[in-house]
Amino acid sequence: MDSVVFLIDMQSFYASIEKALRPELKDRPVVVSGDPERRSGVVLAACPIAKSYGIKNAETLWQAQQVCPQLTVVRPRMELYLKASLRITEILEQFSDRVEPYSIDEQFISVSGSERLFGPSLMIAQKIQDAIRTELDVYARIGIGPNKVLSKMACDNFAKKHETGIFELTRENMKEYLWPLPVDQMFGVGRRMARHLRQMGIRTIGDLARFPLDRLQKRWGVNGHVLWMTANGIDLSPVTRDTFHSQKAIGHHMTLPRDYRTPEEIQVVLLELCEEVCRRTRSHHLMGRTVTVSCRGADFDLPEGFHRQMKMPDPTNQTMEVFTYAWELFDQFWNEKPIRSLGVSLSQLERDDAVQLSLFEERNKKWKLGYVMDEIKQRFGPTAILRASSLTSAGQARERARKIGGHYK
């Protein structure tokens, strides 16, 4: 017997939360956007009225204001949105104990076995819609399928356009509804992959489902097999609460408030990024063997940058050790032109309960020092203890402490 999985997606989540809390905005075109003065003036969420003007998520704020001069712009309040997302999880857990957050505004829920309590799947979907609308005044669209991949495509391609906001894809109707869609509307297919598929004569999801599996495997290996399975509505991954418990990498990326041009000021931000990545790594009691540095140039018309990694001699979660290798990478591949964004990550993660000792340095003391600094920040706030370099004009640690996910709390 097939499972019954929902993908719950909140319509214009950030904008909907703001409208729910500010009734005077109900009939106005509203977007939630970052701070244009700090190069984050991008539309994060546009309400349906704003979208009717042609405004899209991820476009620049000035573009949105050009097509809709009467636009109401609201600064993001990420802490508020996170609380709302957690409240939605609590609502879903009233219908099933198998709830899996997919993003801040999307969650999977398996209702297999809940039918005896709440009725057929369509009735459960309507009850969930009503509960979220009553509690938060946010409209939820719901895709229903026998697995996660079909419920996701049911939501993205059909529920969002359906008058009820609910649509079910089954193994019986997927050939009628899903297969005629262009291949770039399939989950897991981006623009580049869609171009490759079209070059092979694959134009629709149905074309991909009927394409010889061995040819896809020969071209893309395991990924080719996954593409074929997705097109055929096959997904063996369960709905689980443990999705985010096994991270493959821990990283942090920052768009800079201005162009950084000198090695000295870039070092300040790179050190802060290493500090944050190592703090998060220690919070999971992990260490990393590979450090990755990514950089993007300041010239929008001629994009430049790099993404390079290096394997360190020993796994570590210590800031200065990671910074040493991160700067070596950056210095090697930087073309000495101004940059506008910078990122650092640690991968090949392993437990931190076994530390390689050294005859030449006090690694154990440094290891303990990192955890002591974390405890101070946990108790007294992220800016309770800072490196002196963060107090310079290049430092961003104090500004970043006021944000969640790159946006103000």
Average pLDDT score over residue span 342-359? 78
Catalytic-labelled residue, pool 59, 90, 93, 106: 106
User: Does the structure show a pLDDT above 60 at 319?
Assistant: yes
In tens, the pLDDT along 293-310 reads: 999 998 767 778 899 999
The answer to whether position 238 is within a domain reads: no
Average pLDDT score over residue span 29-45? 76
Distance in angstroms (rounded) separating the CA atoms of residues 52 and 47: 9
Which residue range forms the structural domain that includes residue 56?
1-169
Mean pLDDT, the chain, rounded, equals 89
From 120, 144, 169, the end of a domain falls on 169
Residue 217 exposed, middle or buried by CB count within 10 Å (0-12, 13-18, 19+): middle
The answer to whether position 156 is within a domain reads: yes
Tell whether 283 and 159 lie within a shared domain.
Answer: no
Q: In this predicted structure, what is the pLDDT of residue 39? A: 46
From 138, 169, 200, the end of a domain falls on 169
Q: In this predicted structure, what is the pLDDT of residue 37? A: 55
Tell whether 353 and 371 lie within a shared domain.
Answer: yes
pLDDT band for position 395 (50/70/90)? confident
In tens, the pLDDT along 378-393 reads: 888 888 888 888 888 8
Tell whether 5 and 133 lie within a shared domain.
Answer: yes
From 147, 169, 191, the end of a domain falls on 169
Tell whether 9 and 130 lie within a shared domain.
Answer: yes
Number of domains in the chain: 3
In tens, the pLDDT along 235-287 reads: 999 998 765 555 678 998 888 888 999 999 999 999 999 999 999 999 888 99
Stated pTM of the model: 0.73
Which of 267, 281, 402, 400 lies closest to 339 in space, CA to CA? Answer: 267
The answer to whether position 349 is within a domain reads: yes
User: Does the structure show a pLDDT above 80 at 354?
Assistant: no
The answer to whether position 174 is within a domain reads: no
Distance in angstroms between the alpha carbons of the first and the last residue of the chain: 45
Tell whether 369 and 399 lie within a shared domain.
Answer: yes
CATH number at residue 381: 3.30.1490.100
CATH number at residue 206: 1.10.150.20
The answer to whether position 237 is within a domain reads: no
User: Does the structure show a pLDDT above 50 at 355?
Assistant: yes
Tell whether 308 and 222 lie within a shared domain.
Answer: no
The answer to whether position 119 is within a domain reads: yes
The answer to whether position 240 is within a domain reads: no
135 has catalytic annotation: no
The answer to whether position 74 is within a domain reads: yes
User: Does the structure show a pLDDT above 80 at 364?
Assistant: no
Residue 290 exposed, middle or buried by CB count within 10 Å (0-12, 13-18, 19+): middle
Higher-confidence residue: 384 or 96? 96
Distance in angstroms (rounded) separating the CA atoms of residues 375 and 382: 10
CATH number at residue 93: 3.30.70.270
pLDDT band for position 409 (50/70/90)? low
Q: In this predicted structure, what is the pLDDT of residue 358? A: 57
Tell whether 196 and 288 lie within a shared domain.
Answer: no
In tens, the pLDDT along 191-248 reads: 899 999 999 999 999 999 999 999 999 999 999 999 999 999 999 999 987 655 556 7
Q: At what angle do helices 121-136 and 78-92 cross, to 10 degrees?
A: 140
Q: In this predicted structure, what is the pLDDT of residue 300? A: 67
Tell whether 68 and 1 lie within a shared domain.
Answer: yes
Tell whether 92 and 125 lie within a shared domain.
Answer: yes
Tell whether 151 and 187 lie within a shared domain.
Answer: no
Angle, CA 65 vertex, CA 62 and CA 69 arms, to 5°: 150
User: Does the structure show a pLDDT above 60 at 348?
Assistant: yes
Distance in angstroms (rounded) separating the CA atoms of residues 367 and 192: 43
Residues in the chain: 409
- Contact yes or no for 155/143 (Cβ under 8 A): yes
How far from chain centre, in Å, is Cα 129? 24
Tell whether 136 and 213 lie within a shared domain.
Answer: no
Q: Among 2-6, 276-280, 349-353, which stretch is predicted with the lowest mean pLDDT? A: 349-353
- Contact yes or no for 335/304 (Cβ under 8 A): yes
In tens, the pLDDT along 112-131 reads: 989 889 999 999 999 999 99
What are the contacts of 372-381 at 24+ separation with CB within 8 A? 373/279, 374/279, 374/282, 374/283, 377/279
Tell whether 8 and 106 lie within a shared domain.
Answer: yes
Q: What is the 3-state secondary structure (H, E, C) of the chain?
A: CCCCEEEEEECCHHHHHHHHHCHHHCCCCEEEECCHHHCCCEEEEECHHHHCCCCCCCCEHHHHHHHCCCCEEECCCHHHHHHHHHHHHHHHCCCCCCEEEEECCEEEEECCCCHHHHCCHHHHHHHHHHHHHHHHCCCEEEEEECCHHHHHHHHHHHHCCCCCCEEECCCCCHHHHCCCCEHHHCCCCCHHHHHHHHHCCCCEHHHHHHCCHHHHHHHHCHHHHHHHHHHCCCCCCCCCCCHHHCCCEEEEEEEEEEEECCHHHHHHHHHHHHHHHHHHHHHCCEEEEEEEEEEEECCCCCCCEEEEEEEEEEEECCHHHHHHHHHHHHHHHCCCCCEEEEEEEEEEEEECCCCCCCCCCCHHHHHHHHHHHHHHHHHHCCCCCCCHHHHCCCCCHHHHCCEECCEEC
Beta bridge pairs of residue 41: none
Binding annotation for Mg(2+): 9, 105
